[in-house]
Chain A
Amino acid sequence: MNGYNFAYLDEQTKRMIRRALLKAVAIPGHQVPFGSREMPLPYGWGTGGIQVTASVLGAGDTLKVIDQGADDTTNAVSIRRFFARTAGVATTTDTEQATIIQTRHRIPEKPLRDDQIIVYQVPQPEPLSKLEPSRAETRRMHALAEYGSMHVRLYEDITRFGHVAISYDYPVMVNHRYLMAPSPIPAFDNPKMHMMPALQLFGAGREKRIYAIPPYTDVRSLDFDDHPFRTTRAPHACALCGADDSYLDEVVTDDAGGRMFVCSDTDHCETRQSDGHKGEQSP
């Protein structure tokens, strides 16, 4: 792309973002404000993730971009093209080959390694936002570790429904200190964040916050001793590869209620299929 710096952002901006990232890694789960720039994609469509990726991307990296777990959803395609054009880096759909993975709303099924970075796109970085709309007040709450109101929210769910009803963006306690919003990944993916060997970076462009979980950090989903956190997934096996432990997408096949369930992580599914695994509807 003529006239643009490597990965679009100018070096000063990247330096500013890297400083924020370093602060974030030093204080796991703490939201660091940063001077988010307007990007050629709209706020809310991944500008935070893009700015983080642009700041850590090097010429030798291999980039994977997924949305809803899939490489070919329109926004993932759009973002991957953006980096292909502005950075000329190698791109891939293979989780194992990627050195940087930018993701919206899923963590890949395949466990990540300590030489990989995963960058999450975050719409709402403030886990307390629904309980307390004022950011000035939530800042104080985080500083004083005043998280009682979040536990009240869980208590109310258990009282009303018999269990916590939060199914995505399930709040976690990072390194026993900061309450964090993991981004709208399904609760099913939360356990993957605990002690993950890879570096986890979170970018919220519109809200202008960056946060991070360094490798091998304690990450626990909020719960009660007598109502421990549990994951939910559709009680089926993938129709294409037979996996019974991956997160599934429900695909409606006709208007008579027909449906099939397939792995949301397309790379995981295709890899399993090429390894010979079959599901009910494998050709």
Chain B
Amino acid sequence: MTEQTLLSARGLTLHFGNIPALVDVDADLWPGEVLAVVGESGSGKTTLLNVLSGRMRADAGVVWYRDPAQRLHDVHAMPAPALRALHRSDWGFVHQNPRDNLRMSVSAGGNVGERLMAQGQRHYGRIRTQAIDWLQQVEIDAGRVDDMPRTFSGGMLQRLQIARTLVTHPRLVFMDEPTGGLDVSVQARLLDLIRSLVARLDIAVVLVTHDLAVARLLAHRIMVMQRGVVVESGLTDQVLDDPQHEYTQLLVSSVLQA
């Protein structure tokens, strides 16, 4: 394992029955960098995200995480409480469908403040101030702090989910198709937001997407997957401008035609 990586995976293998979801996958993530995992559906990219974040177990292989004290942890050997605590503090997970990660009958402020309360903050005024601050950072009008998410548009819900995830300043965020299902113009705005937040807060991101444009905009490095195998990886611009593997060439060319 290379020094200074935040997250490293070696030899991840997972089959669903006869279907290969992951075949001997390696991955590295450095602090503050965005790594995109791209491929069509069935490529294994979401499975990889789930295994890296400890939500799913692989049949073989290991995932290492380096904590702020520079200690290494085997993500799948961690006791459940420790993993859950990690997900609430140092780590974040942005779901494709924001409703999966929001309390729909709790106000926006309550949603954003929950992680703070879970960490022991007990001052209502300060929690609310922090929540308002984060709403503004994700470009939601502060006046909506007491509104229910039910009244929010799709794009706003996604931004609310991001605020709720970032409020504890995680060092590593997993994102699963964060712009999936949104209008093109809404996507563009959201991508800009994610890019500036990630850069400003120095967050490392593992980003799963089928959309090469998203990868190009956000990611420093890219991994291309096909049927569980990483067929190509490298710096985003290099891979997308000069694809070496046949499958990557296919992906890139189909985007150009679209």
Chains A and B in contact, CB within 8 Å: yes
Binding site for B on A (CB under 8 A): 143-144, 146-149, 151-152, 155-156, 158-160, 223-227
Given A148-B114, A152-B110, A156-B110, also A226-B124 (CB < 8 A)? yes
Number of B positions contacting A (CB below 8 A): 22
Kindly list the 8 A-B residue pairs having the minimum CB-CB distance in the complex, ordered from nearest. A148-B118, A151-B117, A224-B124, A225-B123, A144-B81, A152-B110, A148-B117, A225-B122
Determine if A227 and B118 form an interchain contact, defined as CB atoms under 8 angstroms apart: no
Give A156's nearest chain B residue, CB to CB: B110
- Residue B146 is within 8 A (CB to CB) of chain A in the complex: yes
- Residue B115 is within 8 A (CB to CB) of chain A in the complex: yes
- Residue B125 is within 8 A (CB to CB) of chain A in the complex: yes
Contacts of A155 in B (CB 8 A): 109-110, 113, 117, 124, 127
Contacts of A148 in B (CB 8 A): 88, 114-115, 117-118
**SS of B interface (majority):** helix
Give A150's nearest chain B residue, CB to CB: B117
Total CB contacts across the A-B interface at under 8 A: 52
A107 to chain B, nearest CB (A): 26
Determine if B107 and A156 form an interchain contact, defined as CB atoms under 8 angstroms apart: yes
Please measure, in the bound complex, the distance between the C-alpha atom of A158 and the C-alpha atom of B115, giving whole angstroms: 18
- Residue B84 is within 8 A (CB to CB) of chain A in the complex: yes
Of B114, B115, B122, which contacts A224 at CB under 8 A? B122
- Residue B194 is within 8 A (CB to CB) of chain A in the complex: no
Given A155-B124, A156-B107, A226-B125, also A146-B113 (CB < 8 A)? no
Determine if A149 and B114 form an interchain contact, defined as CB atoms under 8 angstroms apart: yes
Given A144-B84, A146-B84, also A152-B124 (CB < 8 A)? no
Task: List 17 interface pairs A-B (beta carbons < 8 Å), by A numbering.
Answer: A144-B84, A148-B88, A148-B114, A151-B114, A152-B106, A152-B114, A155-B113, A156-B106, A158-B124, A159-B107, A159-B146, A224-B122, A224-B124, A224-B127, A225-B124, A226-B124, A227-B124
Contacts of B123 in A (CB 8 A): 224-226
Contact code string B74-112 (vs A, CB < 8 Å = 1, else 0): 000000110011001000000000000001001101100
Contacts of A151 in B (CB 8 A): 114, 117-118, 122
Please measure, in the bound complex, the distance between the C-alpha atom of A82 and the C-alpha atom of B84, giving whole angstroms: 48
